[in-house]
């Protein structure tokens, strides 16, 4: 049985994943990571923590993916103290131009994936009577967002799923919260928004009240308040991390 806190992250290969893994490691957590690079694993082990890598689990909507992460954690460490996941499927365009297939794709990436993750990680935490879970969604789920109505709606569904689940299990001592990002400085956002072009970036940043993009490292540090065991009295919350946009 492990003595350090055990943290599980669904995807350590992209977006905020590597930054969150590093932040957890700095705080002394042993880690179960979905699809980390060999270089990241070596870096984390160099910080003195144990790492269990699980491959082929990036798509949480795929049957069994989330459960494989949980099974690996329980087999290696015997428990899960904290867990975080992110997923997402952006479907752009005006609502009247979308199709039912578009909706189904959005539901799979933005609602089914968080459902599968929660359904897998919560039972051992509830049984243990403790645990912290964060589902990383999008600030677009907090307000109408022109150009991505299906994305915004399904993200809102995920946020409400978190709130309902948290209320249901609050008495067990397990915390479940959602953090919704937008305007983050990472390659996939730049590719989707065209912000590799400095002129486009300036236009996008003008939409953000803080007039800049957020970094993955900033978000990782912020998320630890919900995940590192230091704060145990917040559950069922959605917090936007979007520079004041939501």
Domains of the chain: 6-184+215-241 (3.40.50.720)
Percent of the chain with pLDDT over 70: 99
How many Å apart are CA 89 and CA 107, to the nearest integer? 8
Q: Which of 96, 194, 186 is nearest to 150 (CA)?
A: 96
Where residue 2 falls among pLDDT bands split at 50, 70, 90? low
CA 89 to chain centre: 13
Give the model confidence (pLDDT) of 212-241 as tens digits: 999 999 999 999 999 999 999 999 999 999
Rounded to the nearest integer, the mean pLDDT of the chain is 96
Q: What backbone phi and psi angles, to 5 degrees, belong to 196?
A: -70, -25
Give the model confidence (pLDDT) of 133-190 as tens digits: 999 999 999 999 999 999 999 999 999 999 999 999 999 999 999 999 999 998 888 8
Radius of gyration of the chain (CA): 18
């Amino acid at each position: 049985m492990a003595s350090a806190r055990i943290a599980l992250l669904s995807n350590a290969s992209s977006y905020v994943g590597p930054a969150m893994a590093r932040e957890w490691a700095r705080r002394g957590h042993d880690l179960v990571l979905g699809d980390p690079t060999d270089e990241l694993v070596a870096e984390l082990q160099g910080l003195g923590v144990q790492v269990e890598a699980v491959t082929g689990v990036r798509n949480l909507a795929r049957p069994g993916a989330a459960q494989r992460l949980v099974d690996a954690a329980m087999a290696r460490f015997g428990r899960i103290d904290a867990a975080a996941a992110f997923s997402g499927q952006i479907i752009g365009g005006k609502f009247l131009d979308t199709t039912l297939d578009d909706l189904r794709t959005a539901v799979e990436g933005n609602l089914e994936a968080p459902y599968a993750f929660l359904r897998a990680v919560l039972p051992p935490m509830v049984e243990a009577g403790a645990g912290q879970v964060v589902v990383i969604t999008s600030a677009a789920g907090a307000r109408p967002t022109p150009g991505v109505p299906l994305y915004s709606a399904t993200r809102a569904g995920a946020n409400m799923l978190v709130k309902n689940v948290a209320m249901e299990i609050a008495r067990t001592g397990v915390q479940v919260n959602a953090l919704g990002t937008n305007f983050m400085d990472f390659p996939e956002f730049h590719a989707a928004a065209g912000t590799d072009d400095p002129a486009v970036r300036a236009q996008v940043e003008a939409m953000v009240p803080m007039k800049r993009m957020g970094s993955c490292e900033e978000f990782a540090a912020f998320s630890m308040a919900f995940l590192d065991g230091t704060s145990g009295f917040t559950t069922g919350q959605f917090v936007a991390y979007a520079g004041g946009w939501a």
